Amino acid sequence: MHRRGFLVAGLATALSGSRALAQMKMDGMSGMDSMPGMESGHAGHDMGAMAQAPAALPEGEALRELPLLANEAGRSGLFRARLTAEASTARFVEGQDTPILAYNSTSPGPLIEAYEGDRVEITFANRTEGEQSTVHWHGMPVPADQDGNPMDPVAAGADRVYAFELPEGSAGSYWYHPHPHGRTSEQVYRGLAGAFVVKAKADPIPAAYGDTALMFTDLRLAADGSMPDNTMTDLMNGRVGDHVLVNGQKNPKLAVTLGAKRRLRLYNATNARFLRLAFANAAMTVIGSDGGLLEAPVAADEILLSPAERVELVVAFDKPGAATLTTLDYDRGWMGPGRPADAGLTLLTVDVADMPAEAMPPLPERLRPIAPLGQPTVSRRLVFTETMAMNPTGMEMGFLINGKAFDMARVDIVARAGETELWEIVNQADMDHPFHLHGTQFQVIEHERDGKVSKPPYLAWKDTVNVARGETVRLVTRQERPGARMYHCHILEHEQLGVMGIVDVQA
Ligand SMILES: [Cu+2]
């Protein structure tokens, strides 16, 4: 017998009793969006929480730069530090402490900055209360046994050292987050995620632009200031919160002078929020993707950043007044009521002073070469589906790749190190699924929808790509290092429910 999915009834009982199952049944009904008290701003709550307006968070505070993780090595070429995951508190609302999980008592976690060619040795101390965890180095070219896979959990109370080298050419905007079996979604939304920037030895972007990481997270607070558990709606759609935060703050303020250019690294570290972003009164130029710089800058009016994706921008502030980073509507497919209000959120406000800046050096026309991965010798096809059926014991819901839910004891694909492969990701489901592959970066070569094939506008290194519902994405990839690697949907609730597989890369 093959397991087609999992029983929501059993899961619902484990989570919150019969209310969740009732919720599940109501979610299946149509026309719920127009029910009184269910205005779309209150995303993904159960019925009880939905009637309640989300807490107001202070806005307009000065943007906090992410605190740097200090390098304790004391010599160049080595980055050595300690990351401790533990329970902590954060003050999102005046007078109310919210229990969170944090790395080194801060959420988002400290910014790790190291250089191409460095060796990295980070001791991870899991001081959570009774939960296993790992540190996954998202997008980074690290050996399989250093990648914080679910197969290598760190028990509560235990330490382990993650050690790896940062190869030449690996400069880029990576991040780190837990990846333990069955606990990733919750550990991330409770606060465990941080940015890891690998710097180039010779960086073509003018230093006068600065370099600021902006990490987006998605907060939901209950009336008592706690973070509510996931509901059935969250499990189906992915957890969408009430407040998109930037470096832990709601709509913070950044002051610049007129004519300034700023280098910004945008991180979608939310569990499931799709961010279609635009800058009002400022011009965006894309200079980098998940795995580092593009070949040449590309002007952009808007950017779709799906969960786990990153983009590197140069933003030119040439008009005085307020330049705001806002969200546009994006329909990524939603099951049941409570589709979040995605449009019109102001994430960041930049105050552009009248006083002109010192003249900014121009952005170079060429950033770095990217060699195409070339002709694949192997091809794979991964089909994403959702199944949902009512049976006597409840609703059976499945999120599957090639008809299967994740099984840690099963190898789904056997690959060979150094071989170029074509991966065709087919989304036959009703929701978009951002696809992430561990261990390497890939190049998207085409998208297909309704028989129409389109090429991406530029070559880029990616480790996460959104596969819209009804769409097929073709990418080429090559794993250089042997070992077991995960691939999965980066809506973390979907990953948890089984939208994940293992590719065993053999030497
Ligand atoms: Cu998904």
pLDDT, tens digit, for every residue of 148-175? 999 999 999 999 999 999 999 999 999 9
- Helical pair 8-16 and 18-27, crossing angle rounded to 10 deg: 130
Instruction: Compute the distance from residue 461 Cα to the ligand 1 centre, in Å.
Output: 21
Sign of CA pseudo-dihedral 10, 14, 15, 16: positive
Instruction: Compute the distance from residue 88 Cα to the ligand 1 centre, in Å.
Output: 29
pLDDT at residue 12 is higher than 70: no
Instruction: Compute the distance from residue 499 Cα to the ligand 1 centre, in Å.
Output: 7
Instruction: Compute the distance from residue 262 Cα to the ligand 1 centre, in Å.
Output: 33
pLDDT at residue 8 is higher than 70: no
Instruction: Compute the distance from residue 92 Cα to the ligand 1 centre, in Å.
Output: 29
Instruction: Compute the distance from residue 491 Cα to the ligand 1 centre, in Å.
Output: 5
pLDDT, tens digit, for every residue of 20-42? 333 343 343 333 333 333 333 34
Instruction: Compute the distance from residue 19 Cα to the ligand 1 centre, in Å.
Output: 24
Instruction: Compute the distance from residue 407 Cα to the ligand 1 centre, in Å.
Output: 17
Instruction: Compute the distance from residue 494 Cα to the ligand 1 centre, in Å.
Output: 5
Instruction: Compute the distance from residue 346 Cα to the ligand 1 centre, in Å.
Output: 26
Sign of CA pseudo-dihedral 228, 267, 148, 374: positive
User: In 357-457, where do the E strands start and end?
Assistant: 378-391, 394-401, 413-416, 420-427, 433-437, 442-449, 452-454
**pLDDT value, residue 426:** 98
Instruction: Compute the distance from residue 367 Cα to the ligand 1 centre, in Å.
Output: 33
Instruction: Compute the distance from residue 488 Cα to the ligand 1 centre, in Å.
Output: 8
Instruction: Compute the distance from residue 427 Cα to the ligand 1 centre, in Å.
Output: 10
pLDDT, tens digit, for every residue of 124-154? 999 999 999 999 999 999 999 999 999 999 9
Higher pLDDT: 21 or 202? It is: 202
d(CA 125, CA 343) in angstroms, rounded, equals: 39
Question: Can you tell me the mean pLDDT for 411-426?
Answer: 98
**pLDDT value, residue 21:** 35
Instruction: Compute the distance from residue 430 Cα to the ligand 1 centre, in Å.
Output: 10
Instruction: Compute the distance from residue 235 Cα to the ligand 1 centre, in Å.
Output: 10
pLDDT, tens digit, for every residue of 271-330? 999 999 999 999 999 999 999 999 999 999 999 999 999 999 999 999 999 999 999 999
Beta bridge partner(s), residue 404:
401
Q: What are 328's two structure tokens?
A: 């546009």
Whether cis (ω within 30° of 0) applies to the bond prior to 108 is: yes
Q: CB atoms < 10 A from the CB of 490, how many?
A: 26
Residue identified by tokens 């053999």 is 506
Instruction: Compute the distance from residue 131 Cα to the ligand 1 centre, in Å.
Output: 24
- One DSSP character per residue, 191-241 reads T--EEEEEEPSS--S-GGG--EEEEEEEE---TTSPPPPP-HHHHHH----
Instruction: Compute the distance from residue 444 Cα to the ligand 1 centre, in Å.
Output: 19
Q: What is the mean pLDDT of the chain?
A: 90
User: Which amino acid is residue 121, in one-letter code?
Assistant: E
Instruction: Compute the distance from residue 200 Cα to the ligand 1 centre, in Å.
Output: 33
pLDDT at residue 504 is higher than 80: yes
Q: Which of 18-32, 271-285, 402-416, 483-497 has the lowest mean pLDDT?
A: 18-32
Instruction: Compute the distance from residue 75 Cα to the ligand 1 centre, in Å.
Output: 43
Instruction: Compute the distance from residue 114 Cα to the ligand 1 centre, in Å.
Output: 31
388 band by pLDDT with thresholds 50, 70 and 90: confident
Instruction: Compute the distance from residue 146 Cα to the ligand 1 centre, in Å.
Output: 25
**pLDDT value, residue 52:** 62
Instruction: Compute the distance from residue 68 Cα to the ligand 1 centre, in Å.
Output: 32
**pLDDT value, residue 392:** 78
Instruction: Compute the distance from residue 139 Cα to the ligand 1 centre, in Å.
Output: 18
Instruction: Compute the distance from residue 377 Cα to the ligand 1 centre, in Å.
Output: 28
Instruction: Compute the distance from residue 464 Cα to the ligand 1 centre, in Å.
Output: 12
Question: Can you tell me the mean pLDDT for 74-96?
Answer: 96
Instruction: Compute the distance from residue 314 Cα to the ligand 1 centre, in Å.
Output: 30
Instruction: Compute the distance from residue 294 Cα to the ligand 1 centre, in Å.
Output: 27
Instruction: Compute the distance from residue 429 Cα to the ligand 1 centre, in Å.
Output: 9
pLDDT at residue 6 is higher than 90: no
**pLDDT value, residue 40:** 38
Q: Which of 2-11, 386-395, 401-410, 463-472 has the lowest mean pLDDT?
A: 2-11
**pLDDT value, residue 390:** 77
pLDDT, tens digit, for every residue of 366-375? 999 999 998 9
**pLDDT value, residue 262:** 98
- DSSP state for residue 470 in the 8-state scheme: T
Instruction: Compute the distance from residue 282 Cα to the ligand 1 centre, in Å.
Output: 33
pLDDT, tens digit, for every residue of 437-466? 999 999 999 999 999 999 999 999 999 999
Instruction: Compute the distance from residue 448 Cα to the ligand 1 centre, in Å.
Output: 19
Instruction: Compute the distance from residue 241 Cα to the ligand 1 centre, in Å.
Output: 17
Question: Can you tell me the mean pLDDT for 10-14?
Answer: 35
Say what percent of the chain tops pLDDT 70.
90
Instruction: Compute the distance from residue 434 Cα to the ligand 1 centre, in Å.
Output: 6
pLDDT at residue 72 is higher than 90: yes
The 3-state secondary structure of 363-390, one letter per residue: CCCCCCCCCCCCCCCEEEEEEEEEEEEE
